[in-house]
Structure 1
């Protein structure tokens, strides 16, 4: 069956998030299977039953409700397009859905490590306070260099560093998120920062 690239409805914006509905893993897996066959009713049910869970995951990463809402909508677009890739033998349905949303959120964080791009209106308001073009260029080059150094870390270390130092996550939150002891998280961050410092040295 040819995949329809468009989701069957517009997901709610901030303040319109559906209340969580109870669903068993078997029911969620059944809905994903129906979504893989382009069943629009199943997709709406899947959204209503799982969106609060995915929003919570994304919000923990991005710490911005409006941004998180946008990423959740994009995540469900991915789910609509890739539902046939779900393999019940490899992961639970909720784990798969959360993984889609989490990866999307982390991708967004990599693209915008200091937060989502400022709107044009805000830029107009701040026009008189902006640094010179040369300072902007140097600042952008420094950010790009830092991102390249972070990208040289192992995958989990990349995510951990960005969540810790760009999003302000505590060591306890990181330990829970990565399912590691707090002391292990501290050790990983210490080693990662040493590697980044070496990379940044001229």
Structure 2
């Protein structure tokens, strides 16, 4: 097992061997993250290449005091996948295209199930403190990173991670009832 923190520091200095070691070590996990979010193997493979281009170019931005290299690499992959999902959304250029896009609504039964789930999720979200609830929404709906949330709420990075982890556990418990 390689020390990813040290390898990222060497990549920031242009060390190709360190970059290759990061690819071998972290590549499978990052691919798994991308595949889980994108749900398309070819798109995840393409995204993995893009992620590693970002790692090569942005390795100097890694701050080992803010967290581990594994978390930083996973955040780069996750954010890239979220950006790819956002780019997937079709943009209509005419009213006819908008009409065609609107035709893919779920049937009434699916809508009823979705509404029911939405009500349950909303009810469970209300059990969280307001700042935790907002942080969960911003992280998992808007796609903000832990670092962005920590800065926005003016709390340490590890505090934000704890907020989100405990909030998700509370939501899981509530939804399981």
- Could you say which TM-score interval applies, normalised by the shorter chain? 0.5 to 0.7
Q: How does 1:8-157 map to 2 (within 5 A)?
A: 22-23=1-2, 27-113=3-89, 135-139=96-100, 154-157=137-140
Shift of 1:82: 0.4
Distance in 2 of aligned mates of 1:47 and 1:61: 20
Shift of 1:58: 0.9
Shift of 1:182: 6.6
Distance in 1 of aligned mates of 2:140 and 2:89: 15
RMSD: 3.1
Q: Deviations over 1:50-82 (max 9, x none)?
A: 100101111110111110011111000000000
Tell me the matched-pair count: 119
Q: Give the structure with the larger helix fraction.
A: 2
Distance in 1 of aligned mates of 2:56 and 2:38: 23
Shift of 1:155: 2.5
Shift of 1:140: 5.2
Q: Normalising by the residue count of structure 2, what TM-score does the alignment of the two structures yield?
A: 0.58
The answer to whether the Cα contact below 8 Å between 1:106 and 1:159 also exists between their aligned partners in 2 is: no
Q: Normalising by the residue count of structure 1, what TM-score does the alignment of the two structures yield?
A: 0.51
